[in-house]
Chains A and B, each alone.
Chain A
Amino acid sequence: MHEMGIAGSVIDAVRVEVTRRPGARATKVGLRIGEWCGVDVESLRFCLEVLVKDTELEPLAVDIDFRAQASDLDIAYLELEE
Chain B
Amino acid sequence: MERVAIEKKVLSENDRIAQALRQQFAECGTLVLNCISSPGSGKTSLLERTLEGFPPDTRVAVVTGDIQTDNDARRLARFGFPVRQITTAGACHLDARMVEKSLQGWDLGRLDLLLIENVGNLVCPTSYDLGEESKIVILSVTEGDDKPLKYPGAFAKSRLMVLNKIDLLPYVPFDMEAARRNARSIHPDMEIIETSCTSGSGLDTWRQWIGERMRSRALKPS
Interface of A toward B, CB cutoff 8 Å = 1-2, 5-6, 9-10, 13, 17, 24, 27, 31, 35-39, 69, 71, 73-82
Contact = CB atoms under 8 A, between A and B. Distances in A.
A-B pairs, 7 with minimum CB distance: A36-B153, A2-B124, A38-B123, A1-B92, A75-B6, A38-B126, A38-B153
Interface in B84-108: 91-93
Interface residues of B, number: 27
A76 B5 CA distance: 6
Given A1-B92, A74-B7, A74-B10, 4 more contacts: A5-B91, A78-B4, A79-B1, A79-B2
A41 to B, nearest CB: 13
B220 interface: no
B154 to A, nearest CB: 8
Contact of B93 (A2, A77, A81): A2
Given A10-B10, A38-B123, A73-B10, A79 B93 contact: no
A81 B195 CA distance: 58
Contacts of A77: 3-7
B127 A81 contact: no
A2 B8 contact: no
Interface majority SS (helix, strand, loop, mixed), chain A = mixed
Interface in B1-29: 1-13
A81 B1 CA distance: 5
Nearest to A2: B124
A6 to B, nearest CB: 6
Contacts of B156: 36, 69, 71
A24 B2 contact: yes
B124 A1 contact: yes
Given A2-B91, A27-B1, A80-B1, A37 B127 contact: yes
B201 interface: no
Contacts of A76: 5-7
A10 B4 CA distance: 15
Contact of A6 (B7, B91, B127): B127
B121 interface: yes
